[in-house]
Every structure is written in C-alpha cells, then in structure tokens.
Structure 1
Amino acid sequence: MGNFFTSIKTNHRSFIEKQHLFFVSTAPLTSEGHINLSPKGLDCFRVLSDNKVAYMDLIGSGNETSAHLLANGKVTFMFCSFDAAPLILRLYGKGSVILPTSEEWASYASHFTIYPSTRQIIVADIDLVQTSCGFGIPQFEYKGERDIHFEWADKKGEDGLAEYIKEKNLVSLDGLPTNLGLLQE
C-alpha cells in the first residue's frame, strides 16, 4: 500500500534529484483518445517548490503532453529507483505549457540549460504525492546520457527544427491541437 502526501517533502525532492529517468503521463479529455506515457531524461526535471515542478521538453516525434494539457490539464509524473533502495514516487497535478514566446519563459528557463531543440517547458502544480515500495522493479546500472538527440538537432539546424515542429508537433496523435499548433493559427 502506498503512502500519500499533499506536498513534495524534503526526502521526495532528494529522491527526485538523484533520478536519471522519469515518466510523464497525460490523457485527452474523452475516452476516445490515446493515453500518453513518455520517458524523459537529460537532467531536465526541477522541483521548484513543495507543490510546483517543471521540466524542459525537447522537440520530439510527437507533442501529446501539450495537447492533453490543453484538453484537461491533468498530468502524472513517475520516478522509479533502479538502484539498491527500491521506491516508486508519483506526482499528480495540473500542468501547463510555457512556450519561448510566453511572458513566463525567462523565469522558468533560468532553471534549465536551454538547447536549440528546447520546444517548451511543462509546469505542474502538484496536489498529491504517492510513494510505494517498488519491490518488483529490477536494478539497472546508469551508464550515461545519449548524444543522439543533440546530434540530430544539430544536423537539422534552426530551419530544419522549425520545419520538423510544423510537421510533427502541431497536433496530437488524436488530432488535438498543441500549444505550438495554436501559435500557427
């Protein structure tokens, strides 16, 4: 059975800061669409306060999180310990998308290393934290980050990244608009 908290405690923050991988889950407003679950890495997650978190989001093959946050705002983050001490930690909340053109961009961007392929920052107000044992999670050894995304982005260049966003990031898998898509209208 899990333990529940109404805010991120010091030990939760410490655990989150040690993780190299986390998962983001969102869903469209109706049961007709697809639930999205995305792994994230690259030191892009920050605990901003006891009830606010953010992560820097890089250009990818889709933009489901943005579309789903526009539709209903609900977001869940999950962190798993893959080392000796097992633990699963989930953060539940309401999220929003901060784009480079947003007034809030500078204040949130200051928490991250911003890359040419950074497309947005996802911010979430957390109202529930859950921890559970994680006894069934296997142990893995962290070997390092991959450079593939950055090599791909460098090869694309600024114009190529802009074109890729137009092609792949303006609507969700289910045809829902993303924040980036609304900018194009």
Structure 2
Amino acid sequence: MTDKTFQKYKLVIDQWFVNGFNGTMAYKEFYPKAKRADDSFSKIQRIPEVQEYIKQKEDEAKKALRTTHEVLLEELENWAYSDITETLLLTPDQVKELPPEVRRLITKYETTTRRIGSGEQAISETTVKLSFVSKEKAMEMIHKHTGFYEKDNEQKGNIVTETREERDRRIEELIQKRNAAD
C-alpha cells in the first residue's frame, strides 16, 4: 500500500469516528462511486496499518475522556450506591447547587408551580420532580465489567458436539430406558 493510499484510508477512518461509526458512509465520503462501500470499508479495516491507526485513535479518545476501568467503575459505583434522599424537597436553585456527582445521576428534571388561594393571601408552591439513572442497570454494568457473569457465560459456551451415530445411539438408549420404565 502506498503512503498516499494509506493517508486516504486514514481520512476514511477519521470520518468513521466523526459520523457515529457508519463505515459505508465514511467510505462513500472519499470514494463516492464505490458500488460496495460496506465491503470496501470492511476490507480496509482488516489492513494491519489501518487497524493500528484505529487503535491509536481509540487510545487518544480514551485519554481525552479519561475512560479507564477505574473511572468507569467509580462512576457506576456512584450510580449504584447513590442516595436520592439528598434531593428530597429541594428547590430548583438547590438542585443546581448539588455536587456534580449527584447531578450526573439526574436523567429528567421537571418543575411545576401552582398557586394556592387567591388575592394577596395566595401562595405559590413549586414542586421539583427528578428522575434518576437506574440502579439495577448500574449493578448489571458493574457485574459485566468485573466478570461477575463469566462463570455463567462459560457454562453456556460448553457446547457438546457429537457425530450423527453417537446422537442416534444416545436417542436409542433413551427410548429403551423409557420403554423399560413403561
């Protein structure tokens, strides 16, 4: 592969990162006449130099976003063990003053204001409704990330392969056992 070709492939990969990982669209951006852009993109992804470039881009993104196992597990732990009682009866201004690690748990925020009474004696009451990230989802993600389900996955992966003759013999034995029990 020439350096010129590699530079063009790098542009395709850059576009792939920018467009949300749509390989076909990334390839067509630089090769608009391509008939099988999906196959062509798949082929360039398998080139060792391109794979190395993709890995480099992923590492740069991880570094920029501080995406490490430790940081991810810290955030998931924050989700899983958060205490929503810290947010009960808060005003909108008090919600804004919450620490960032608590605010990140909020997925939906609504305020409702209603007037009680009339005239000069009327009072306004503002209710804040908050929705939070799922604790169950956080626990599931922690378990997946730490390999908690690994044993179950290994058990599911143990597929027994047998020849047709072995299967027929096993079926015959089961039929004989059933008939003997009758």
TM exceeding 0.5:
no
| Higher RCO (C-alpha 8 Å, min separation 6) | 1
Please, what TM-score do these two structures have when normalized by structure 2?
A: 0.18
Structure number with greater Rg is 2
Structure (1 or 2) with the greater helix fraction: 2
The structure with more strand, counted as a fraction of residues: 1
